Amino acid sequence: MGEKRRITPEDLAAIVYVEEPQCSPDGQWVAYTRQQPSLEANNYDSSLWLVAARGGDPVQLTYSGKDSQPRWSPDGTRLALVSARSGQPQIYTLPMGAVGGEARQLTRHINGATSPVWSPDGRHIAFLARLNAAERADEDAGQPQTATSEQRSTFFDPLIIDRVPYRDGTTVHDNRFVHLYVVDAAGGPPRRLTHHDAHYTAPVWSPDGAKLYTTRIVQVGGDEYWRYASIFEIDAATGAERPLMDGQHTINDLTISPDGRFLAFNRRDGRDTASQFECCLLELASGARRVLNAALDRPVTHLVWESAQALLAVVATEGRSVLYRLGVDGRAEVVIDEPQQILSLSHAAGVTVVSSATMHNPSELIAYDAQGRRALTRVNDALLAALTVQPAHEIWFNSPYGRIQGWYHLPVGYEEGRTYPLALNIHGGPQLMWGPHERTLWHEWQCHAAEGYVVFYCNPRGSEGYGNAFNHALNHNWGELAMQDIMAGVEAMLATGLVDAERMVLTGGSFGGFMTAWIVAHDTRFKAAVAQRGVYNLISFYGTTDIPTFAETQFNCLPWDDHEYLWQRSPLAHAKHIQTPLLIIHSENDFRVAMEQAEQLFTWLHRMGKTVRFVRFPRDGHEMTRSGEPQHRLRSLQEMLAWWSAHLTK
């Protein structure tokens, strides 16, 4: 084996990600999605693969490069999948009797179809598709569904807006809503079950196939349609709907027990955006509810029924994912506690498969059963064998709030006794959690270390994974309070003797971008900073974001009630004090934190004669550095490293 090399920004395109593991009903096989960025095509190649749950060589199932969402039929003889091989994403089925069979297109919906869910008897597939009132009327009348690009574009000229948000992700809303359909798995015309101007979510079937359960907003036409939802029971034959909750919660991870007795889901009060999600159990016969993670005091995701008596759930705690068994009787026990981030989960016939990221490897599938633990994929082995990968070191330190957890990576080529520049990284949210196994930052942090930096990040108050009180401790005063924790971490790193106090830089995105601007407006020790997709003016943020409730509940204030309160807590109000050279990175289709935030900060600093540069990326949105166009992701990292280097050498 040759000498290992330093990772480069261009290695972004060499990293393979394995996602969406789906265990076959008998637990013998695992279908999954394999995805890889392409710098040449500036997109992502996504294909379906199959591997034996006991281990072995994976087999590629599809080759279009545009396939995802594999779902086994109840008898294990077919896969449903979503493919955009012919343009719009549509539902296909793939026979599994002989690997490599031809996929059969099942839907030809005018606006595409996603989220296939098999009925318990395998005769039908429920799915989601978007359409507007006129298209629904044509569909109901049996008229052919057609629309030209000209017809689609004229809807936006002018755009009539009567709700908030009118845009999210990277898309300006048209008048189409996500509806629930059922189609015969053998083929034939789909049947739409829903009729309201509301967005429905991927359903679950009752075990007898008579009902489906989904979520949508109760107040049709209301703002922030995902924030105030109810669970609805829908009759599979008639489409009749019955609400099961009050419609005041954000709901996700809806799943039904094998015996049909319980619905399990995660929920959060729609007006308490700092709260952890509660894992709730709803008994369908009685309507009784209970919370399963109250004693854990940790957020829960990826709910999967292990049996009629227990759920498997991923619990985020102190920078890692722990797999728990949550009994319907309220008992909770640890099933898997390893240093990893669990990104998705499947279980069948005693086999549990997770998509896992670690500090050493950004993505692999791991299986657990009575025989133990085994890696099912080794998609990144060749790349990792050629690279120097720097492990993380945990550090706990004291801040004015209390003990805070952080991590650091030593630079490649580290020599004991020498000091190195510090690259401070700040996470978004603020109710998010970072740890050394964070897949979305693996490549970036390793590139920082390869460039000679000590890489440091921490979870200041407000972060998930430390309890509900810790989540709420940041409310109403982001900048001042989080800065106390973050800078206490910087001081702790200086105390290790690893860091050169005269060569420190920082970056962060979203809330991290807010904090980057806030810190350099209140501390002049950093030599360069990169603020990404940040909030800089809390007053205008409320009027331009797709999540205005978040903006008001995080500060318990509406802009028209106390303008000065929000202004003094905005980095822009303190921008005149910024002396640190600042690079601002933002995407033009960022509807979470609108481009005007970056424009304001850049214009103010430029007109004041500060050292500032503004890099705008077209087409991408708030997730640009994590899932945006590969060329944009590469260029963003290159700009960051070049900016730091230029100002550290002055």
Active site includes 510? yes
Question: Whole-angstrom Cα distance, residue 552 to residue 334?
Answer: 37
Question: Whole-angstrom Cα distance, residue 90 to residue 632?
Answer: 28
- The SS3 assignment for 129 reads strand
Question: Whole-angstrom Cα distance, residue 156 to residue 167?
Answer: 12
Please spell the DSSP secondary structure of 419-473, one letter per residue: -EEEEEEE-SSSS----TT-HHHHHHHHHHHHTTPEEEEE--TT-SSS-HHHHHT
Which residues pair with residue 567 across a beta bridge? Answer: none
- Under DSSP, the state recorded for 159 is P
- The SS3 assignment for 487 reads helix
- For 191, residues 6+ apart whose C-beta sits below 8 A from its C-beta are 181, 182, 183
- Under DSSP, the state recorded for 66 is B
- For 29, residues 6+ apart whose C-beta sits below 8 A from its C-beta are 23, 50, 51, 52, 53, 76, 96
Question: Whole-angstrom Cα distance, residue 376 to residue 19?
Answer: 12
Active site includes 360? no
- Cα–Cα distances in angstroms (integers) from residue 121 to residues 84, 124, 146, 533, in the given order: 27, 8, 33, 47
Question: Whole-angstrom Cα distance, residue 213 to residue 203?
Answer: 5
Question: What residue spans of 282-427 are helical by DSSP H?
Answer: 381-386
Query: According to the 3-state scheme, what is the secondary structure of 278-305?
Result: EEEEEECCCCCEEECCCCCCCCEEEEEE
Q: Is 223 exposed, middle or buried (0-12, 13-18, 19+ CB in 10 A)?
A: middle
Question: Whole-angstrom Cα distance, residue 316 to residue 301?
Answer: 8
Instruction: Give the torsion through C-alpha atoms of 301, 306, 308, 309, to 10 deg.
Output: -80
Which of 83, 363, 463, 510 is flagged as catalytic? Answer: 510
> Token pair for residue 337?
């506690």
> Token pair for residue 55?
């281990």
- Under DSSP, the state recorded for 356 is E
Which residue shows structure tokens 């898309």?
A: 171
Question: Whole-angstrom Cα distance, residue 184 to residue 186?
Answer: 5
Which of 124, 199, 409, 622 is flagged as catalytic? Answer: 622
For the annotated catalytic residues, the residue numbers are 510, 622
